[in-house]
Amino acid sequence: MDKAGLERVARAMVAKDKGILAADESSGTIKKRFDAIQLESTEEHRRSYREMLLTTPGIGQWISGVIFYDETLRQKTRDGVPFAAWLEKQGVLPGIKVDLGAKALAGFAGETITEGLDGLRERLAGYYQLGARFAKWRAVIDIADGIPSRFGIEANAHALARYAALCQEQQIVPIVEPEVLMDGGHSLERCEEVTDAVLAEVFGQLALHRIHLEGMVLKPNMVISGKKAANRASPDQVAEATVRTLKRHVPSAVPGIAFLSGGQSSPEATLHLSLMNKLGPLPWNLTFSYGRALQDTALKAWGGKSATYGAGQKEFAKRARLNSLATTGRYAATLEAEAA
């Protein structure tokens, strides 16, 4: 393992003014996104949608890395340039989702375990050859009556740490993503309690598995009320609770934390990130690794048509730029009114 090399990549992923585009929707998930704009999920539609995002002029100013799905890492621009090579030319790091999804955890109703460890060493080596310099694995923790169980948290944290160790062995920076879902009607306090337990276990397992903390990135949920909660906590409360919780568990050796958006609206996700960065000084860089919160408006503006290709890129550039401002606390909701 070349530790210095891993550290360089991890630091670049979370550099100030930049964040990560999560474009790693599996074929099933992208079909759901395309269904919303009545577009058939063909391989060519999936390719041209990703090309639209990746060839947005100026992408390298705001985006440090892009997470791909297996199919997408192998795709090319219409001029025949592999997406990974295209990104490298823009100074953007290519990454790859390597988990095989969250499956029902046998014996624990309502809980899941993320699969994909078998054969992972060989898959990582192959992805490195294709240009991937970082990877992602998402563990999913749902909150409801009686869940998550202690065992569910432990099993998921153990799998995350095994994944992270294999990544570092293969000279790939692991994004460690334990996502506490915001589905349901729970309070911010309940989310904080569960996120506390999850992060404590995750960092315990990372230590046991001898993970080089300087060469990884954490991708957590924010501490936030459930979507269906009656009285949802304010943006300031979310920012304070999230930073407070992270400070309890994330060693300062970790160079950066890149949040998932998890179903927040695009402006909400940007505001929360900006408010957190105003609470500084913080021991790590705080940035974004958003999927929906970077793509929703761009996907709608594009709508699957070549005539609106540029309109999609403008919307993507707008969200990327506003989130870039949020990495230094310079975003304000008034900026939403500006033209894309």
Residues forming the site for ligand 13P (CB under 6 A): 22, 138, 177, 260-262, 290-293
- Give the 3-state secondary structure percentages of the chain, helix then strand then coil, rounded to 5: 50, 15, 35
Smallest gap, in angstroms, from Cβ of residue 134 to ligand 13P?
A: 12
| Residue 254 φ/ψ, nearest 5 degrees | -70, 125
Q: Which is nearer to ligand 13P, 89 or 194 (CB)?
A: 194
Q: Are strands 102-104 and 112-114 parallel, antiparallel or unpaired?
A: antiparallel
Q: Which is nearer to ligand 13P, 242 or 261 (CB)?
A: 261
Q: Which is nearer to ligand 13P, 182 or 241 (CB)?
A: 182
Q: Which is nearer to ligand 13P, 46 or 292 (CB)?
A: 292
- Whether residue 219 lies in the annotated active site: yes
- Whether residue 177 lies in the annotated active site: yes
305 exposed, middle or buried (CB, 10 Å; 0-12, 13-18, 19+)?
exposed
* CB-closest chain residue to ligand 13P: 291
Catalytic, out of 18, 219, 315, 318: 219
Q: Which is nearer to ligand 13P, 68 or 83 (CB)?
A: 68
Q: Which residues contact 30 (CB under 8 A, 6 or more apart)?
A: 41, 46, 49, 69
Residue 56: which of 330, 297, 336 has the closest Cα? 297
CB 37 within 8 A of CB 295: no
Which H helix or E strand runs over 127? helix 120-129
Q: How crowded is residue 111: how many other Cβ atoms within 10 Å of its Cβ?
A: 23
Residue 33: which of 41, 42, 43 has the closest Cα? 41
Q: Which residues contact 60 (CB under 8 A, 6 or more apart)?
A: 90, 91, 92
Q: Which is nearer to ligand 13P, 97 or 186 (CB)?
A: 97
Give Cα separations from 252 to 31, 248, 307 (angstroms). 39, 11, 47
| Residue 80 φ/ψ, nearest 5 degrees | 90, 10
My answer on whether omega of the bond before 174 falls inside 30° of 0, hence cis, is: no
Alpha carbons 127 and 110: distance in angstroms, whole number: 32
Q: Which is nearer to ligand 13P, 122 or 183 (CB)?
A: 183
Catalytic, out of 177, 192, 201, 315: 177
Smallest gap, in angstroms, from Cβ of residue 170 to ligand 13P?
A: 21
For CA atoms 4, 288, 165, 149, the dihedral sign is: positive
| Residues assigned a catalytic role | 177, 219
